Amino acid sequence: MMLEGIRVLDAATLAAAPLAATYLGEFGADVIKIEQPGSGDPIRTWGNQVDGIGLMWKSLSRNKRSITLNLRVAEGQALLRSLAEHADVLIVNTRPATLRKWGLDYPALRAVNDRIVMLHITGYGLTGPKSERPGFGTLGEAMSGFANITGQADGPPTLPPFMLADGVASLNAAYAVMMALYHRDVHGASGQLIDINLIDPLARLLEQTLLGYDQLGLVPTRAGNRWDISAPRNTYRTADDRWLAMSGSSPQLALRVFRAIGRADLADDADFSDPQRRLARAREVDQVVADWVATKTLAEAMEILDAAEVAAAPVYDITDLVADEQLAHREVFVKVGDDELGAMTVQAPVPRFSAATGRVQHLGPRIGEHNAEVYGELLGLSGGDVDELHARGVL
């Protein structure tokens, strides 16, 4: 495995930070999940449950070993510092002031292991006037500018019904960890602290809004599924009450649309063939396409558009997604056996390499399932030592 030999301590909770650890574990890193005794990571009780078992927990904690450790007591804090001596990466999302109080901030951990890479994900970042505020993905989606430009023109700002800000932050975090490890291992540097919040990564993707504001004074407003850099670009309802999405992002694609729907006259009209002039008439373009799509079933429309090499796709719900032949061919979803659920289908690791394969060896473990194994392996504690620490509320 590509990351074999890298040990990650995942001492974070909920989504963004633990997801970064998940990505590393899919390619061979030994990820040790550190949870509060008794309650564990709150993601265990988040979302859909089967017999009290959280489905998101099962997927997000794939390939991880679970140990318990009470970081609110001095002995637990000392044990984490000892574990950090044997780790390459430590991932946390605790408030900065709390970590300093516990003696678990980056300077304290670097003192015991100057090679450690510490990833700290927070709502607002480790510095600045809001650094100590609690933060969640919803707030990142609001403050990044995403919600303000998402939704219908006459509707409210719209939040996504999934973990968008957390997910984008986790991807930034995973590649940041890899860069820090490369810098350490290839260039002979020490470890370092990585500071990622839930606003910056998503705001980075909304680059068009910044550029237009900075250079042209533009403040975008909500426009549904339209986008002011491309036309046609929308979702369109079919005769059988399905939906398809279409993009005319390049000049030739837009002209293909006009010809495919029997409006070659528009392809020859400068008001519609010229990209900038077409944007001024985007509503007309949308209406022409919508009227044509409304006369076709989804299958009929897609057959015509595919034949014309138009950039169009059906809008899938989850049943369509898992049945799609392209995704099935690429094994995007895999069924994994589990001793609590029997089996569950989850997303497979996303990156595809020519000489390596990601893995889902097992789903999320029971809380503290690997206490004896990990504490014995890394710190030399006996089974009796682990039992005593458990009895005293440290584990």
Residue 166 is a catalytic residue: yes
Which residue is it, tokens 């986790």?
170
Cβ atoms 40, 47 nearer than 8 A: no
- Position 70, amino acid: N
Among 166, 265, 317, 339, which one carries the catalytic annotation? 166
- List the one residue out of 307, 291, 227 whose CA is nearest residue 259: 307
- Position 134, amino acid: P
Point out which residues pair with 91 in neighbouring strands: 10, 119
- List the one residue out of 20, 94, 14 whose CA is nearest residue 103: 94
Cβ atoms 25, 48 nearer than 8 A: no
338 φ, ψ (degrees, to nearest 5): -150, 135
Which residue is it, tokens 């390596």?
356
9 φ, ψ (degrees, to nearest 5): -100, 115
- Centre a 10 Å sphere on the Cβ of residue 390 and count the other Cβ atoms it contains: 15
Q: Rounded to whole angstroms, how far apart are CA atoms 368 and 68? A: 5
Cβ atoms 8, 87 nearer than 8 A: yes
- List the one residue out of 255, 242, 217 whose CA is nearest residue 293: 242
Catalytic machinery residues:
166
